[in-house]
Structures are given as C-alpha cells and as structure tokens.
Amino acid sequence: MYLRLQKVLLTPFAFTILLANGNNLTAAENTKNRKNIIQTNQNKQTDLVKGKVVDETGASLPGVTVLVIGTKKGAVTDIDGNYTIEAKVGDVLQFSYVGLQTKTVTVNGSTVNVTLSGGSGESLENVVIIGSRNPTRTVTESAVPIDVIAMKDIATQGAQTNLNQILNMVAPSFTSNTQTVADGTDHLDPAQLRGLGPDQVLVLVNGKRRHTSSLVNINGTPGRGSVGTDLNAIPAFALEKIEVLRDGASAQYGSDAIAGVINLNIKKDTKKIDINLFSGSNFSRNANDHRGGNDGNNYQMDVNYGTNLGKEKSFINLTGSLQLRDATSRANDATGTIYNAYNAIEQRASEDGININSLYGNITNTSNSAQIISLIKNYAPKVSYFTGAQQTNISNATTISQLQTALNFDATDGELAYRKLERRNFNMRIGQSEFKSVQFFLNAAYPINDKLEVYVFGGTSYRNGESAGFFRRPNQSRSYTGLYLNGFLPEIHSTINDLSAATGLRGTIFKDWHFDLSNTYGRNSFDYNIENTVNATLREGSPTEFDAGGLRFAQNTTNFDMSKKINTLNIAFGAEYRYEQYGINAGVPDSYSQYDINGNVVTGTTPANIRVTDFYGAARPGGAQVFPGYRAENAKTEKRNSMALYADLELDVTEKWLLNGAVRFENYSDFGSTTNFKIATRYKLTDNINLRGAFSTGFRAPSLHQIYYESTATQFTGGVPFEVGTFSNDSEIAKLLGIPKLKQEESTSVSAGFTAKIPSANLTITADAYYIKINDRVVLTDQFTPTPLTQPLYDQAGANAATFFANAIDTESKGIDVVLTNKMNLNENLTLKNDLSGTFSKTRKIGNIHASPILEAAGQVNTYFSESSRIYLEEAVPRVKVNLTNGLTYKKFDFFLRNVYFGEVTDPNVADVNGDGFVGATIVNGKAVENEHPVWGGRVITDMSVGFKISPIAKIIIGANNIFDIYPDKNLGPQTARRANGVDANGNITYAATPTAIDLSNQNQFVYSRNVSQFGQNGRFVFARLSLSF
C-alpha cells in the first residue's frame, strides 16, 4: 500500500526540495527518478529505517515526503503516518509536508520518529477531508473543486470578525450580507453558495453534519423561503481551516449538498495560548443617518488554549469569544406626513392631562361623542399655526364625521416646530443590528491504545440582538398616541441559543480497516421579545413589551464509517441515522390577539362597530407592532427521522488516471426513499496539469421548517403595511387555494475543469465550469388575498394576505470558477503572496410554473410564483464576483491588500426606471406582469491592513475594510407612473389612465435598497487588532 502512496503523493513539491539541494532535474527526469525510487525500495530490503511522523498534537500525518539527502532515495508516509526507507546510520533524512516546517534528522538507529511543527505552507496543497474519502488526497489532486482557506492569517488580517463576513470576502462563490428591517433575518445572515439557496449547501464541522438554524427567512431578502446554517454561531478564532467543496455531493453526504459543502476544521494546537483583541468602528461620511462621524462600534476578544491530556497524541483545544457590536443607521431625514390636525389637538389636551383617545374605542360607537367634540373645539384654538379657514371648519363641525373631515390635513411642519422636534427624530434604523455574543468551543481527542481513539468536539453560543422595524408615526392607525404621542420605533430583541456536541470512537480494526463511530447532536433556538411597541387594540391597557414566542430546532446524527486502501483502490462505506425535531413556541396572547372595544378577541363575526378604530375610523390592527407573536394555534412540535447507506470507491486506475464513484440510499419517514450517485474523475496530462470532471444526482428534502412553519407578520409592500400569514403547506387554507403538497427537490450536477501548476513561478491555477439543474425547487409564494370562501381562515390568523411554501418551479444554474495562487520569496526577508479568484454564474427559472388546476382556473399562477420571486431567485445576488488579494511580508511587517468586485444586482421592486411615465410590463400566463426593475451597478471594495510584530509574542494590526467608503447605488425616490392593469382583447397591455405614486425609498428611509445588497451599506470600517501568542 505504501508503495502505491508513493506514486500518488510524491508530488512535484518533493522534487522542488531536490532542486534546492542541487539536483537540477527536468520534468522527464522527475518522472524517471520517481520510478527509480520506487524500484529501489522494491528491490532492496537491507539497511531499512522505519518510523512514524506526527504533528504537534500527536496526530498521524499521511503523505509526508521522506528523502535521504544527497541521494535519490525517497518514501511517503502511509495513512497512519508510518514509513520505511533504505538508509544507514549517518544518513540525513528530510521530512516535508505542505503547511508544516520541513525537518532534517540524522539516522542513528533503525527507528526514526519525527514530529513536524507548524509553518507557512500553501493552503491549496493541503490534504482535504471533504470531496474524497481518501485521507491523503490533496486539493490539486482532487477530482472536484475545493477551496481551502487557512484561518491563521485570514482571521487576523482583515476587518471581518465572523464566518459569514470572512467567507463573503475571500470565497467568490460564497455570498452573505447583513440584512435590515427583515425581522429575524436581521439577526442571522443568510448565506449562499454558487447563487443557490442557503438550504442547498451542507455545513460540516470536523467532517460531521452541522444542524441548521431554527429560523426560516420569510421576509424580502435573498434566500427568501429558505433555512440556512448559522455560521456565526461558531467562533472564527476556533478554526484551523475552512474547506469549501464547490460541487454537488448529495451522494456522498446526503440531503442539502446540492450546491456544495462547507467543512469547518477546529484547531488542534497544543502548548500555546493565543489571544485576539479587536476594536473597530464605521468611520463613514454617511454614518449616523448621513451626518458623518462614526457608528457601529465593534469590540471582540478571543482566547484559544491548547494542551495535551497527559498522554501522547492526546489534546484538548478550547476557544472562547466575546463580541459587542453596535447598530448602524443609514436612513435620511424622514419625509411625508407625520402629524395630522387631530394629533396637534390631542397634544394640547395632553398638556392639561387629558387623553382624548381614552374616551373612545370605536369612534363611530361611543357615548362620549359630545365630550370629544367639545374637547376638540376647545383645544383647536391653541394650535396657533392653524389657518383661519381651518379654525372655522373645526368650530362649525357638529358631528364626529364633520370633525374627521375638518381635521384631515397635514400638520407636520407646524407641529414639529411646536414640539421642538426634527424629521430625523422619526427615522427608521437602517443598517446592521446590534448584538452581544458569547461563544465557547472545544476540540479534544484521547487515544485508548495504539489502534483506538475517542474524540469530542462542540460548543455553545449565546447571542442577544436588537433591531428595529418601520417607524409607527402618530398619524397612523397602527400607532397609538394615547401611549406614544410622537409615535414609536418598535424593536425586535432576539435571543439565539446554539449548542452542539459530537463524540466518537475511531481507529483501526480487522487488518487495517479504519472506522469512525460517532454521534452528533445540535440544537438552535430563536426567541423574540418585542419592546417599545404596543397592541393598539388594547389602547391604554397595552403593555409596551411582549414575549412573542420563538422557534426551536434539534438534530441528532449517528454515523458509522469504514474505509481501507487496498493497493490503488480506496474503499469507503457507512451508514447514517438522523433524527430531527422542529417546534414553535407561542407568545403571550396579547402579543398576537386583536381585541374589540369590550376586550374580547376579534373573530370573523365581530361587528365592525365594536372593533377598535382610530379617530378617523380606520381599524387598529392587533398584536405587537412590528412582530405579532406566534399564536397558540401555531404552537407545535414536529419530528422525523431518516436512514442512509452509502458506498464510495476511489481508484487510481493508472498513475495518471483517478476514478471516483459514490452511491447513497436514503429513506425519510415523511418523504420516502431516494438513491443518488456520483461519478468523478481526474486525469494527469503532465506532472503539473490535471483535468477533472464530475456528474452527480442530488436531492433535498424540504426542511421541517418549510413543512410546518406558521405565523402572521407585518410586511411592507411599496411602503404599505400588510399583515401577512404564512400557512403550512398542509393547512386547510392551502387546500382551498389549491397549493400542492410539498415533495423533495431533485438535482443533476455536471462539472468540468483543470488544475495547473507552474513550479518555476510558484503558481497554481484552477478553473471549473458547472451546471446544476434542480427540479421542484421549494419557494415561498407571493401573497394571496382572501376570497369569500377563505376569508374566515384569514380572520382567524389575523392576516389579510397569505403565503405558502411550494415546489413551484425548476431552475438551472451554470457558471465558472477560477482561482490563481502565487507565492514569491523575493529574498530571505521579503515574501509576496497573490491570490486571484472569480466566479461568473447565472441562475434562471426554466419551464412552466408547477401550478395546480385550481390555481390556473383562478388566474393565480403569477401569485404562486411572482415576478419579484423570480428576481430573488435569479438576480438578487451578484452573478459576478472577483477577488484579488495581495500579502507582502517584510521582516516584522505584514502588508495586506484586498480588492473585491461585486457585480450588479437587480431590485425585486418595480418602478419607472427609464423615466417614460410608465412601469414596463410583459404578459405572463395571460396576465400583465410589471417587470421594470432598478439595477444596482457593480462596485470594487478595497480592504487594507498593516501588521507589525512588536515582540516574539505580540503583533499589532491596523487597517480598514472598504477603505474608500464605497456605497451601493442610491435608491429611486418618489415618482409617479402609470401602472399596468390588464390585457385587452387584442393581447396588448393596458395601463391606468392616471399615474400613481411609487416610492422605493419609503419616504427617504431606504437611501439604498432594502431588498438587495452586494456588500452591505455600512461604508468604511476602521479597526485595530492586537494578537498575542504564548
């Protein structure tokens, strides 16, 4: 077996060492000498030296190159780190391994054991865990594209402090940004790979499946309708490296791995303490609602400690992280009406201790009408800026109805001056949310004997966040001036708890069969507390803080894996059992209920004259403003289990040709069975050029969240609020509307590419093209409005619109990923490393929408999958992303420069973009569908930092992310345009006779798009970091 490993792993890297020792070999001579070395080891059995090579933690190192200096003799360590080489006493052995420091040892006996310590290696040559079950396979030898991101430098050079931010800046195929005014999604950044959904990428930790978040994204953001993994629950400082497999891998790893796999490797360092102290802030011209200065202060402390456990090869590595992040805001001064005339009068009355609002529940059904009329007439003259005509109209009114007409005018400017307020006092908070985070992670292993080892890893994360919604202005019915005379900005306070724990036993049994028996448990909970808010139907009796309930998800995965390398064939097989549980916890009744004037819960039969209204007769909505709590009827606990069997074969057919095949059978308790396969191959054209390709099928079972999630939440469309209910796919209302039952997504994936190395230039190039077709993709529908048949079900949920999860469409994604890496040692003190990578991708809907006959008959196909849903799917994340990173090291100084180009994105909202007075439209399924969307142009974001090693244990780094303070294109402001309203008998689109108002900025609050963002809208971030290592 070890002889075959020599053929596979005695790479050109080993021969660069020979070159360094004066052996000027050509490529042909390299190949010849490899054969000579192998033949020598086959024919000579005298003067053999044996030994084992391990790292600092005691872990075996497969694939270490061992050379007898001054000769052509060589060997490579096997999967257990063992080697045998022909050498005699006095010979000097050289041990080299990518990423670790090369070591020389003089032979003084028949056994030479070696420990290699950390060093500066090329990350692209690292042995990888994912993509291949051969534990000695490296990135460039793999049959599929894999990125390896070494965290040692990445986590300290840039301004990014969490995994989503780091990956968004260093991995072109990865996209993630903080969201704003998106309810729970403000607190958990959705992440996407190759433009596919957050739930179509599988996350592993140390090669074991990671649980997802309990949150499902239902608001207007990229990844809408999906469930992702909360990467930010894992401290970046705990990681040694990140592997990103950019290829479909359901046949190897199971459900969710349609776009690829992200594997997070936890540190195993021992005998050291690392400390990271970080402080930064957004110093930007647009900070603090475009007034400049700085906001978004960020403070972080990380500590990592490793030690052994009193036995050789044992270790425990611990990481703790504390982070405090302030909010940012990029709104502009609020425009539009804030106060009406009634607000002005109630303010004057309140100054005398009189609350006019308390005198009525329903303005048309109150016994206090005469008193209300009298009070208004008495206090109106105290409003000095009312005109004479306005005062006359008020004094002449004799009924509530007449007063409603007389007081129906804008009093904003005069009232702001009177109350000594400014329009900015009514701004929303547009930007990143505030949070406090505490995290702890561990990784440990302990050998029972030479063949068995027990291991454990996992961690816990606590995160408390705060974000805000739309400002509830005094003139709006959803506000309640009886408690908040100036309106209020409601806040969502989240508590996110995450726990994971994995334990296992691995080792060698049955004559070199390697096994791994493990159990991995994870859970995530997301609880909502709504503050600075009101249930307007409770009026003065309303609390201003509500427990709105929460979400929870738990997953337990048991795995048994076996593998063995027999000559040129690597065999792996295994089984998996997974149990999942999803639940919704109800909030307190006041957080979601709508009450009538008698304090009873409103139902579909509640008469209009006892429903709570504002002064102008508009019905007040129930529930906590910004986020009505989860209702008692939403509360549930659902579960399922799945069982899987897999087999994976990897064969070196010849020295140049690698062939890999995998098949996986999986059975879900709620979706039945599926079998998927994968075939991958790699062919070495030369020692430095490889061709590779793969074909696979895949699947994704809808998450329990997508099957069972139900809620009612406030969503804004065109600045207009709607109480939108998300109903489960099997609900009664879904059946009445003709929403088909959910089923699994199925995919087909093809990739092809090459890797190339130019040793003389120390340059590595990879390029891979891909095509992914997904059938029956799960999406969140647009908003269905009630019909007479469904109205009672809407009323029961407190909703005036409804959405559902459904297998609405088929999609295809295609693109190309390119990575170039170069490192130059210019002299003994000067090193330059350059990385250029880019992704060019496109996703689109193909074929017809999968609507039921009921939906087609009702003309609801375009609601089932809307134009805005198409934009979120196809164009809401950059389709082009290019990253150029340069790192220069000179003595004690490090200089870091990164430029990232984020391509254009399209806004899902429509407007009169070209200024012709119309909103452009097209005909889809016989209906006029508006499709004139703003397109926000691409931008280059530049990061820069300088590091200086103060002492052997201390290093300071200062720098800036987005150093040139770049922002996205500004949003479109208020405009009027004629809207499409139908299709005439001749098949032409018809337009409304009069223009209507369109304002994507929502009265100057969303200066930049709320719905899409390539790189956020926080501007320049300046930071300082102190790294200590003991």
**Concatenated DSSP letters of 736-794:** HHTPPPP--EEEEEEEEEEEEEEGGGTEEEEEEEEEEEEEEEEEE--PBPP-TTTHHHH
| Nearest by Cα to 928 from 869, 880, 871, 984 | 984
Same domain, 245 and 347: no
Q: How many CB atoms lie within 10 A of CB 302?
A: 23
CA dihedral for 774, 778, 783, 786, sign (positive or negative): positive
Question: Tens digits of per-residue pLDDT, 776-806?
Answer: 999 999 989 888 888 888 877 777 888 999 9
CATH code of the domain containing 16: 2.60.40.1120
For residue 131, the model assigns a pLDDT of 65
Same domain, 454 and 534: yes
Amino acid at 696: S
Are 441 and 303 in contact, with CB atoms under 8 Å apart?
Answer: no
For residue 731, the model assigns a pLDDT of 87
Amino acid at 306: G
Identify the helix (H) or strand (E) that includes residue 29.
helix 27-43
Same domain, 631 and 575: yes
| Nearest by Cα to 711 from 599, 655, 629, 791 | 629
DSSP label at residue 396: H
Same domain, 591 and 527: yes
Q: 79: which residues sit within 8 A by CB, 6+ positions away?
A: 1, 5, 60, 62, 135, 136, 514, 565
Q: What is the DSSP string of 816-868?
A: EEEEEEEEEEEETTEEEEEEEEEEEEEEEEES-----HHHHHTT-HHHHS-HH
| Nearest by Cα to 130 from 33, 22, 247, 219 | 247
Same domain, 593 and 642: yes
For residue 156, the model assigns a pLDDT of 63
CATH code of the domain containing 946: 2.40.170.20
For residue 1003, the model assigns a pLDDT of 95
Tell me, yes or no, whether 982 lies in a domain: no
Are 534 and 484 in contact, with CB atoms under 8 Å apart?
Answer: yes
Measured CA distances, 837 to 170, 691, 693, 810, 1024 (Å): 9, 19, 19, 29, 27
Tell me, yes or no, whether 949 lies in a domain: yes
Tell me, yes or no, whether 607 lies in a domain: yes
Are 719 and 642 in contact, with CB atoms under 8 Å apart?
Answer: no
DSSP label at residue 118: B
Question: pTM for this one?
Answer: 0.85
Q: Is 972 helix (H, G, I), strand (E, B) or coil?
A: coil
Same domain, 864 and 948: yes
For residue 155, the model assigns a pLDDT of 60
Tell me, yes or no, whether 622 lies in a domain: yes
Q: How many CB atoms lie within 10 A of CB 281?
A: 19
Tell me, yes or no, whether 158 lies in a domain: no
Same domain, 652 and 524: yes
Q: What is the DSSP string of 149-190?
A: EEHHHHHHHSS--SHHHHHHHH-TTEEE---SS-GGGGGS--
Q: Give me 780's structure tokens.
A: 């969140």
Same domain, 267 and 355: no
| Nearest by Cα to 968 from 1024, 1014, 919 | 1014
Tell me, yes or no, whether 128 lies in a domain: no
Are 565 and 511 in contact, with CB atoms under 8 Å apart?
Answer: no
**Would you mind telling me the total number of residues written for the chain in this entry?**
1030
Q: Among 119, 153, 177, give the residue marking a domain's end.
A: 119
Distance CA 695, CA 700 (A): 17
Q: Give me 801's structure tokens.
A: 């619109």
Same domain, 112 and 182: no
Q: Among 379, 409, 439, give the residue marking a domain's end.
A: 409
Same domain, 644 and 774: yes
Distance CA 1015, CA 1022 (A): 16
Tell me, yes or no, whether 155 lies in a domain: no
CA dihedral for 148, 151, 154, 155, sign (positive or negative): positive
Would you call 26 exposed, middle or buried from its count of C-beta atoms within 10 A (0-12, 13-18, 19+)? exposed
Q: Among 409, 442, 464, give the residue marking a domain's end.
A: 409
Q: How many CB atoms lie within 10 A of CB 52?
A: 18
Same domain, 320 and 360: no
Distance CA 719, CA 998 (A): 9
Counted domains in the chain: 3
Tell me, yes or no, whether 125 lies in a domain: no
Same domain, 590 and 711: yes
Q: Which residues of the chain have pLDDT under 50?
A: 1-46, 119-125
Range of the domain at 396: 341-409
